[in-house]
Amino acid sequence: NAGVMQNPRHLVRRRGQEARLRCSPMKGHSHVYWYRQLPEEGLKFMVYLQKENIIDESGMPKERFSAEFPKEGPSILRIQQVVRGDSAAYFCASSPRKTNPTEAFFGQGTRLTVV
Amino acid sequence: SQQGEEDPQALSIQEGENATMNCSYKTSINNLQWYRQNSGRGLVHLILIRSNEREKHSGRLRVTLDTSKKSSSLLITASRAADTASYFCATDRDGNYQLIWGAGTKLIIKP
């Protein structure tokens, strides 16, 4: 049973381009959480999704950021018109159910660098 | 608002010594977890302690939790060079799925 898979592991984008980060949850997991880690900081919650639904996006910037978790395929975190401040590591976690985040398993992260 | 705060921010010790890191939090919690992150890498789950537990061991790791002081400590005994990493605490509250993270302690083990 493969763990949470994120790709790409490293992504370089020029300012103004779009970044698409993918997260495939563990088999049987229908809940996905995205966290962002700025350099030298801890993780900050961004968004929580279930299949085809955004449950909580309170941690997501209002503009340029969007997330989806379609019925088929991975969850996508999309950042439009990237700026240097978007450079960070983006981690995805999945769990089999909403409650008990202790059951969440983390991916290896995608490191986004905006140049 | 930041829930977990680790201290020290950075810790440098000789191989073989014990390393102690602390985490404080603000609100009541359900569980507290410690994670390790090697430089530029992913997160490794180390240990979870529930709010009704006071101490937990796993190999060379010992975690304590004092809910009255809203603090936890992570002790790594007989440190090794491979323990060099950043260590984070993360808390969750009952009924809330978000994990709240501290800024981490950067541990350097000198050979």
Tens digit of pLDDT for each residue in A17-69? Answer: 999 999 999 988 889 999 999 988 889 999 999 998 999 999 999 999 999 99
Q: What is the distance in angstroms between the Cα of A64 and the nearest Cα belonging to chain B?
A: 22
Cross-strand partners of A77: A21, A67
CA distances from A75 to A2, B93, B106 (A): 16, 25, 31
According to DSSP, the β-strands at B105-110 and B10-14 are parallel
What is the spatial distance between Cα A47 and Cα A56, in angstroms, rounded to a whole number?
6
Q: How confident is residue B2, by pLDDT bands cut at 50, 70 and 90?
A: very low
Query: What integer pLDDT is reported at residue A98 of this predicted model?
Result: 59
What is the spatial distance between Cα B73 and Cα B71, in angstroms, rounded to a whole number?
7
Query: What integer pLDDT is reported at residue B97 of this predicted model?
Result: 74
Q: Which of A16-30, A83-97, B1-15 is least confident? A: B1-15
User: Which of B43, B98, B104 shows the shortest C-beta gap to A101?
Assistant: B98
Q: Is A94 left (phi over 0), alpha (psi -120 to 50) or beta?
A: beta
Q: Does A109 touch chain B (CB under 8 A)?
A: yes
Q: Which two tokens stand for residue B6?
A: 């680790």
Query: What integer pLDDT is reported at residue A105 of this predicted model?
Result: 84
Query: What integer pLDDT is reported at residue B1 of this predicted model?
Result: 34
67-106 in A: which are within 8 Å (CB) of B?
Answer: 91, 93, 95, 98-102, 104, 106
